Amino acid sequence: MSKIKTPREKKMASLLHDRRNAYGENDKSSRKNIPLSKRLSHKATRRSANAPMALALKTQDEENFVVAEQSARDNFKTGERKSFRKRADASLAAVIEKKTTGKWNKIYEPWG
Protein backbone atom coordinates (compact mmCIF):
# COMPACT_ATOMS: atom_id res chain seq x y z
CA MET A 1 0.00 0.00 0.00
CA SER A 2 1.23 3.47 -0.89
CA LYS A 3 2.38 5.80 1.88
CA ILE A 4 1.06 8.77 -0.10
CA LYS A 5 -2.66 9.05 0.55
CA THR A 6 -4.17 12.21 -0.87
CA PRO A 7 -4.28 13.13 -4.56
CA ARG A 8 -2.46 16.41 -3.79
CA GLU A 9 0.44 14.49 -2.18
CA LYS A 10 0.53 12.10 -5.13
CA LYS A 11 0.65 14.98 -7.62
CA MET A 12 3.47 16.76 -5.74
CA ALA A 13 5.48 13.53 -5.51
CA SER A 14 4.99 13.04 -9.25
CA LEU A 15 6.12 16.62 -10.04
CA LEU A 16 9.25 16.20 -7.93
CA HIS A 17 10.07 12.79 -9.41
CA ASP A 18 9.54 13.55 -13.13
CA ARG A 19 12.46 15.27 -14.87
CA ARG A 20 12.75 17.65 -17.82
CA ASN A 21 15.69 18.85 -19.88
CA ALA A 22 16.15 22.46 -18.74
CA TYR A 23 19.56 23.15 -20.24
CA GLY A 24 18.13 25.41 -22.92
CA GLU A 25 19.10 23.50 -26.03
CA ASN A 26 17.13 21.15 -28.19
CA ASP A 27 16.56 18.01 -26.15
CA LYS A 28 16.99 15.79 -29.22
CA SER A 29 20.46 17.19 -29.89
CA SER A 30 21.65 15.99 -26.48
CA ARG A 31 21.74 12.46 -27.86
CA LYS A 32 24.60 13.51 -30.13
CA ASN A 33 26.15 16.37 -28.15
CA ILE A 34 26.69 14.51 -24.86
CA PRO A 35 28.74 11.69 -26.44
CA LEU A 36 30.59 14.25 -28.58
CA SER A 37 31.47 16.36 -25.54
CA LYS A 38 32.66 13.31 -23.62
CA ARG A 39 34.74 12.15 -26.59
CA LEU A 40 36.39 15.56 -27.07
CA SER A 41 37.06 15.90 -23.36
CA HIS A 42 38.73 12.49 -23.13
CA LYS A 43 40.74 13.21 -26.27
CA ALA A 44 42.04 16.48 -24.78
CA THR A 45 42.99 14.64 -21.57
CA ARG A 46 44.93 12.02 -23.51
CA ARG A 47 46.72 14.64 -25.61
CA SER A 48 47.80 16.66 -22.56
CA ALA A 49 49.03 13.50 -20.84
CA ASN A 50 50.99 12.25 -23.86
CA ALA A 51 52.66 15.56 -24.75
CA PRO A 52 55.48 15.35 -22.14
CA MET A 53 56.23 11.75 -23.12
CA ALA A 54 56.55 12.70 -26.78
CA LEU A 55 59.14 15.35 -25.91
CA ALA A 56 61.06 12.90 -23.72
CA LEU A 57 61.21 10.34 -26.54
CA LYS A 58 62.96 12.86 -28.76
CA THR A 59 65.77 13.48 -26.26
CA GLN A 60 66.31 9.81 -25.26
CA ASP A 61 67.50 10.84 -21.79
CA GLU A 62 66.65 8.68 -18.74
CA GLU A 63 66.21 11.66 -16.44
CA ASN A 64 63.81 13.29 -18.88
CA PHE A 65 61.73 10.10 -18.98
CA VAL A 66 61.17 10.18 -15.22
CA VAL A 67 60.21 13.85 -15.23
CA ALA A 68 57.98 13.39 -18.28
CA GLU A 69 56.22 10.41 -16.75
CA GLN A 70 55.39 12.37 -13.58
CA SER A 71 54.27 15.34 -15.66
CA ALA A 72 52.06 13.06 -17.76
CA ARG A 73 50.41 11.64 -14.64
CA ASP A 74 49.78 15.13 -13.27
CA ASN A 75 48.32 16.30 -16.58
CA PHE A 76 46.07 13.25 -16.72
CA LYS A 77 44.73 13.84 -13.21
CA THR A 78 44.00 17.52 -13.85
CA GLY A 79 42.40 16.65 -17.18
CA GLU A 80 40.14 14.10 -15.52
CA ARG A 81 39.01 16.65 -12.95
CA LYS A 82 38.21 19.21 -15.66
CA SER A 83 36.57 16.73 -18.01
CA PHE A 84 32.98 16.86 -19.21
CA ARG A 85 30.29 16.05 -16.65
CA LYS A 86 26.65 15.56 -17.40
CA ARG A 87 24.24 17.73 -15.47
CA ALA A 88 21.03 16.36 -14.01
CA ASP A 89 17.74 17.37 -15.55
CA ALA A 90 15.44 19.66 -13.54
CA SER A 91 12.34 18.35 -11.82
CA LEU A 92 9.04 19.02 -13.50
CA ALA A 93 7.97 21.15 -10.53
CA ALA A 94 10.99 23.41 -11.03
CA VAL A 95 10.33 23.75 -14.76
CA ILE A 96 6.68 24.67 -14.19
CA GLU A 97 7.65 27.23 -11.55
CA LYS A 98 10.30 28.70 -13.88
CA LYS A 99 7.74 29.08 -16.63
CA THR A 100 5.21 30.78 -14.36
CA THR A 101 7.50 33.06 -12.30
CA GLY A 102 10.51 33.42 -14.60
CA LYS A 103 12.96 32.40 -11.83
CA TRP A 104 14.54 29.14 -10.77
CA ASN A 105 13.60 28.15 -7.25
CA LYS A 106 16.66 26.97 -5.32
CA ILE A 107 14.60 24.23 -3.63
CA TYR A 108 14.04 22.34 -6.88
CA GLU A 109 17.35 23.01 -8.64
CA PRO A 110 19.39 19.78 -8.83
CA TRP A 111 22.65 21.60 -9.69
CA GLY A 112 22.39 24.67 -7.48
pLDDT digits (tens, 9 = 90+) for 14-49: 888 898 887 777 778 888 888 998 999 889 888 888
Residue pair 108/94 in contact (Cβ under 8 Å)? The answer is: yes
Residue 44, in any domain of the structure: yes
Beta strands in 1-112 (DSSP E): 19-20, 90-91
Residue 69, in any domain of the structure: yes
How far, in Å, CA of 61 to CA of 82, rounded? 31
Residue 29 CA to chain centroid, in angstroms? 16
Q: Is the pLDDT of residue 87 over 60?
A: yes
Quick check: pTM over 0.85? no
- pLDDT of 108 reads 58
Average pLDDT over residues 73-81: 83
Q: How many domains does the chain have?
A: 1
Listed in sequence order, the residues at least 6 apart from 53 whose beta carbon sits closer than 8 Å to its beta carbon are 68, 69, 72
How far, in Å, CA of 56 to CA of 1, rounded? 67
Residue 3, in any domain of the structure: no
Domain containing 73 equals 25-101
- pLDDT of 109 reads 56
